[in-house]
Chains A and B, each alone.
Chain A
Amino acid sequence: MDAEYDVIVVGAGFGGPVAAKRCADAGLKTLLVERSGVPGEKVVSGLVIPIYGFLFGPEFIRDGNPPIQRPICSVVNRIVKDGKIFFTDHTLWVPKPITVGYSAYCKPFCTWLADRAVESGAELRTSTTAVDVIMDGGTIKGIVTDKGERLGSKVLIDSGGTQNQLSIKAGLREKFTPEAIELYMLWDFEMDKADVDRVFGNSMEFFHAMPEEKIGAPLGYGSTLYFFTYRESIHPGLGQFLVTRGETPNAAKLLREYFDNFTGTIERWKQDIAPKVKLRSVLWDVCPIYAGLLEETRGMPIYGDGMLIIGDAAGFEASAFGDGVPNAWFSADIAARVAIDAVKKGDSSKAALKAYKDDVKADPFITHTITDFRRWDMRRLLLTKDYSQFKRKIRDHWGIGAFRYSNMGGPCLKAMGRMMKDDPTVVASWLKMFTRYWKNWENNSFDRLSTD
């Protein structure tokens, strides 16, 4: 071995730095490996991180000043029929400074997270790809980098994201089935802050439609075009599952065609938005949104001898909204706890690491959100052309119904109860977070990044 570590974390996206910071805080010799030159510059996302991630995830994020783009207080759901907005649901909103989430660009946010890991004593190696795992019998003993270095670990944490390679090389997982994967294309537009404030305020806006409207991708239920709103930009996008009912759609053609159709027909775009925006970037990536719904992917191992798999690499993306950042944070926290315990006890065998699987199962959010059939079931409704049902489902799913106990209300109440029992003062931390984040946004002032 060229070097030995207690813990090696692969991937400085959203989950990896959290695990690395925790391990470093516990005094473990920790290495965080990232293939991009700057953390987050290869991560492509929506992105509104839902509030449950901030409230119930790592306290250093809650109590810190990460670079957010815009506090989001409401979701405006529009249903399009015959090329026009036919119904708008405004039921999901909270009063400011409370929010339902915060939008963010991946590069500054992931850099901020990686900075926290480094501050705690983790070593960060950027521009380094982990190309293989080192195996000894069935035990994972470390990684091989693209520079040929062999780096040893007592516990390897794979947070490499959707296209995870290491856990496949380790023989633990197979690649996700394409039915589980959504291909999502997005367009980033510059827009003056005053215009975003006026046109969207602190809302994000979703356009839902039946397939024949051709504004959201037609298969795999994705008939929604999402507008994520940022500080001085907007980030619309739409997704398409790679395979639905055995068919691979011509996504390369459809996603662009549908976006063009939307911008060509919808008055809201043509009048309120188009005159004020300038295209800045076109991007895409895939996400394993239905991994938790399909038996073959949900059943794949998330740990092995000397290895733990977190976040997207483990298929922990929420199936209803496609949010994966909170689960990446929750699983990172759990993985770090288990890794610290294993290193301290000198036992990182599969039996010792089983606690990870048990704790993931007991987490109020992970299992609940990855096995949520609401969005999957919408596919059937889209074939019925029943607009009154459609309106009801939109309200139940993306509107006020999102707070219902059986939806996100239950897990949130459980997590709240658990945290308040441990420490009643957590309520004050939550309130402080809302006001501090809002003030930071108003002043456009966040922690300095190592890259500034």
Chain B
Amino acid sequence: MARTSEELPGVEWVEGAGQFVTIDEAKCTACANCVRVCLGGCYELAGKKARIKSLDNCLECGACWYVCTDGAITFSWPPGGTGFRSDWG
């Protein structure tokens, strides 16, 4: 079962990816770097912490993980065969 998104044509997401990006709130300094680099709009600042709104438009690029120099973001791969895919990459 694959899902599509109007914002990102030509991409499909296979269900079952789970929460493969997570934030450790205790380490988050609310620098907003993750919000700034996520082209999928997956992050928001809620109060004094970053929060993952949804990974629905995530392309598993890892940009958020790279810019979180406070080590609050953990990035891993979703299980095999799940997550985004495209014919046009």
Tell me the residues in window 1-53 of chain B with beta carbons closer than 8 Å to chain A beta carbons. Answer: 7-11, 14, 31, 33, 35-39, 41
Question: Closest CB of chain A to B42's CB: distance in Å?
Answer: 10
B76 within 8 A of A: yes
A37 within 8 A of B: yes
B54 within 8 A of A: no
How long is the Cα–Cα vector from A44 to B86 in the complex, in angstroms? 8
Residues of the A chain whose Cβ atoms lie less than 8 Å from the Cβ of B38: 252
A416 within 8 A of B: no
Residues of the A chain whose Cβ atoms lie less than 8 Å from the Cβ of B59: 44, 283-285
| Pick from A105, A176, A283: contact of B66, CB under 8 Å | A176
Question: Closest CB of chain A to B61's CB: distance in Å?
Answer: 5
Tell me the residues in window 59-89 of chain B with beta carbons closer than 8 Å to chain A beta carbons. Answer: 59-63, 65-67, 69, 75-81, 83-89
| Pick from A43, A242, A282: contact of B63, CB under 8 Å | A242
B80 touches A165 (CB 8 A): no
B10 touches A283 (CB 8 A): yes
A281 touches B88 (CB 8 A): yes
Residues of chain A at interface, number, CB under 8 A: 50
B88 touches A280 (CB 8 A): yes
B10 touches A252 (CB 8 A): no
Among A22-30, A180-188, A263-271, A383-391, the stretch that binds chain B is: A180-188
Residues of the A chain whose Cβ atoms lie less than 8 Å from the Cβ of B75: 163
Given A165-B76, A176-B66, A284-B61; A188-B81 close (CB under 8 Å): no
B36 touches A252 (CB 8 A): yes
Interface of B is mostly: loop
A40 within 8 A of B: yes
B63 touches A286 (CB 8 A): yes
How long is the Cα–Cα vector from A129 to B9 in the complex, in angstroms? 26
Residues of the B chain whose Cβ atoms lie less than 8 Å from the Cβ of A176: 66
A36 within 8 A of B: yes
B86 touches A242 (CB 8 A): no
| Pick from A41, A163, A178, A248: contact of B85, CB under 8 Å | A41
A352 within 8 A of B: no
Question: Closest CB of chain B to A312's CB: distance in Å?
Answer: 11
Q: 21 A-B residue contacts at CB 8 Å?
A: A36-B85, A41-B86, A41-B87, A42-B86, A105-B88, A107-B87, A127-B80, A127-B81, A129-B78, A129-B79, A147-B80, A165-B77, A183-B61, A188-B10, A188-B88, A242-B66, A250-B36, A252-B36, A281-B8, A282-B9, A285-B59
Instruction: Report, nearest first, the 4 A-B pairs whose CB atoms are least far apart.
Output: A281-B10, A127-B81, A44-B89, A163-B62
